[in-house]
């Protein structure tokens, strides 16, 4: 299945990211710091979009880079870019949090904007990526876009989407696949 996070075309920074991941695989902690500096902004925004609160997003961001440090040896360049690898880790961690939330509802609390650390400001490239994704999503039919958002940002499984929408499981799966392929077409040059 096509991964939404793999839809962005490779850039010149992919080579630098691959060099850093190799350094990380060899225990060079500075490489993790450089990857964090470059990818934390976009990773935080994905986590925030999925989880909804800055506090949860910051925890997921931190967990993402801890897991990256532990699992850097699993990265395979043939399967995608380092950015895709990092965003996939973040996506899976956010899904775990969302599923835990659903299994154990928690009371919402008001929090002051007291950040544990500063999240880098969006870069021009991040804004371009976001605009590209938003434009591609806007070109999809409303039902396809809603299914994609439910799966990727809502953290719902195919079965949960079936329950929420009343659509048959096979229909949900085929519409998601078709929507991902259309999205990929729109984003590739």
Q: Stretch 142-150: mean pLDDT, rounded?
A: 86
Does position 135 have pLDDT exceeding 70, yes or no?
Answer: yes
The whole-model pTM stands at 0.60
Helices assigned H by DSSP within the chain: 13-25, 29-51, 54-71, 82-103, 124-138, 142-152, 158-165, 169-187
pLDDT tens digits, 90-115: 999 998 998 887 766 555 544 444 44
Does position 60 have pLDDT exceeding 90, yes or no?
Answer: yes
**What pLDDT sits at residue 93?**
93
Residue 165 CA to residue 88 CA, distance in Å, equals: 26
Sorted by where each starts, the structural domains of the chain and their CATH numbers stand as: 4-105+120-187 (1.10.1740.10)
Q: Stretch 153-179: mean pLDDT, rounded?
A: 87
Residue 175 CA to residue 177 CA, distance in Å, equals: 5
């Amino acid at each position: 299945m096509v991964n939404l996070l793999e839809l962005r075309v490779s850039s010149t920074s992919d080579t630098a990211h691959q060099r850093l991941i190799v350094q990380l695989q060899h225990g060079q902690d500075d490489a993790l710091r450089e990857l964090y500096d470059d990818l934390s902004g976009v990773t935080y925004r994905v986590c925030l979009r999925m989880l909804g609160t800055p506090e949860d997003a910051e925890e997921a961001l931190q967990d993402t880079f801890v897991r990256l440090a532990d699992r850097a040896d699993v990265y395979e360049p043939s399967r995608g870019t380092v950015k895709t690898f990092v965003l996939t880790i973040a996506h899976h961690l956010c899904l775990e949090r969302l599923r835990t939330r659903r299994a154990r509802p928690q009371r919402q609390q008001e929090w002051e904007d007291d950040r544990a650390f500063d999240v880098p400001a969006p870069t021009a490239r991040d804004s371009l990526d976001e605009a590209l994704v938003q434009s591609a999503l806007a070109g999809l039919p409303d039902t396809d876009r809603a299914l994609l958002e439910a799966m990727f940002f809502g953290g719902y499984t195919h079965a949960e989407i079936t329950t929420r929408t009343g659509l048959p499981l096979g229909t949900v799966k085929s519409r998601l696949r078709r929507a991902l392929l259309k999205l990929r077409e729109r984003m590739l040059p």
